[in-house]
Amino acid sequence: MTNNLSAPQNLQSMKKVLIVGCGDIGQRLALHLGRDNYQITGIRRNCPPDADHIHYRCCDVADYFAFKSVLSDGFNIIVITMTPAERSDAGYVQAYVKTCDYLVKALASLQQRPELIIFVSSTAVYAQDDGSWVNESSLSEPMSFSGKRLLEAETIIQNSGFTNTLVRFSGIYGPGRNRLIEQVKKGAASVSEHYTNRIHAEDCAGFLAHLIKHHKPLAPVYIATDSHPTPMLEVVSWIASQLGIKDFLSADAVNERGNKQLSNQLMRSTGYKLRYENFRQGYIEMINKN
């Protein structure tokens, strides 16, 4: 089999990384990997200018032949971190199921075998709602269309025959992801006492980079989340106290989906050290910067 990884002599020792759907998390990942040991390409529908550490390829991965053309360059590591164009069943099929299907088919057609494929998934694949602890071996029988489609995409990658791992992120927050802060400011925060789980965008990228750089062999699946599952009411109450807002709750607010406590024990066993161990560390930084 051929693995088209030709490069100038000074790039021969560099790993070629392709980030499929290179939005916020993908761009952060590229920064974590750096340009000394990795030659990074990011696929986007609409490309920003290239940066020192990343080269962009404008490509709609829904176009199989365009996607295959990019893949023909040959890559050692492929990271799939997509964002649906719309939050609907069709949007999730397009972003996750078809992307994974096209990727696997194109690699087989090109007779390429990347060293590693990482699929960024979500803990939406877990439907537990009784406040219990959930880890990688817990039952994944999603009720929502999002969880079902993500699980379908995961299965395509797991059955691809390529070396792979799945990373299931909990609720991502960080710069530009200010939903809870805005709800508090608008007096529209949830009174729910259900457990919620979150991870800062920097730790999303940091953990992906850690897996690429340091940890072998990889487990089939990782839950990536911070160390402190917390009831939603406690989270928004703390945010409100930091903002000095007293009237911040709404009985009409939509409660969080699910009610579970996600374990990050396997993630931490890899040696990864969270930058933001709990929501307070991340949100206080965001609040102070606003």
pLDDT 10s digits, 213-245: 987 899 999 999 999 999 999 999 999 999 999
Q: What is the pLDDT of residue 111?
A: 97
- Residue 256 has what pLDDT? 63
Indicate whether 3 belongs to any domain: no
Average pLDDT of the residues in 179-191: 95
Which pLDDT does position 67 carry in this prediction? 98
Mean pLDDT along residues 166-170: 98
**Residue 95 one-letter amino acid:** A
What single letter denotes the amino acid at residue 204? C
Residue 251 confidence (pLDDT): 85
Contact 67, 95 (CB under 8 A): no
**Would the pLDDT of 8 be above 70?**
no
Mean pLDDT, residues 16-24 taken together: 97
Q: Which of 270, 280, 182 is nearest to 230 (CA)?
A: 280
Owner of token pair 């560099």: 14
Q: pTM for the complete prediction?
A: 0.93
The CATH number linked to 172 is 3.40.50.720
Residue 3: which pLDDT band, with cuts at 50, 70 and 90?
very low
Residue 66 lies in a domain: yes
User: What's the token pair of residue 233?
Assistant: 């009411």
Whole-number pLDDT of residue 258: 81
195-205 pLDDT per residue, tens: 999 999 999 99
Residue 280: in which H helix or E strand, if any?
Answer: helix 279-289
Q: How far apart are CA 228 and CA 231, in angstroms?
A: 10
Query: Do the Cβ atoms of 197 and 225 come closer than 8 Å?
Result: yes
> In angstroms, rounded to a whole number, what is the distance separating the alpha carbons of residues 41 and 252?
44
Whether 8 is in a domain gets the answer no
Q: Confidence band (pLDDT; 50, 70, 90) for 284?
A: very high
Q: How far apart are the first and last CA of the chain?
A: 53
| 92-133 confidence digits (pLDDT tens) | 999 999 999 999 999 999 999 999 999 999 999 999 999 999
Distance between CA 167 and CA 182 in Å, rounded? Answer: 28
In this structure, is residue 2 part of a structural domain? no
Predicted local distance difference test score (pLDDT) of residue 255 = 63
Give SS3 for 30: helix
d(CA 82, CA 120): 8
Report residue 20: phi and psi, to 5°. Answer: -90, 115
Tell me if 200 is assigned to some domain. Answer: yes
Burial of 175 (0-12, 13-18, 19+ CB in 10 A): middle
Q: What is the mean predicted confidence (pLDDT) over 75-80?
A: 98
Domain count, the chain: 1
- Note whether residue 177 is domain-resident: yes
Check whether the bond before 220 is cis (ω within 30° of 0).
no
Asked if pLDDT for residue 4 goes beyond 60, the answer is no
What is the span of the domain harbouring residue 235? 13-289
Does the residue 6 lie in any domain?
no
pLDDT at residue 11, as a whole number: 58
What the block records as the tokens of 279 is 């929501």
**Portion of the chain with pLDDT greater than 70, in percent:** 94
Angle between helices 99-110 and 64-71 (to 10 degrees): 50
The bridge status of strand 55-58 relative to strand 133-134 is unpaired
pLDDT above 70: residue 63: yes
Tens of pLDDT, residue by residue over 26-42, are 999 999 998 889 999 99
Rg of the chain's alpha carbons, rounded to an integer?
20
Secondary structure element (H or E) that encloses residue 177, with its range: none
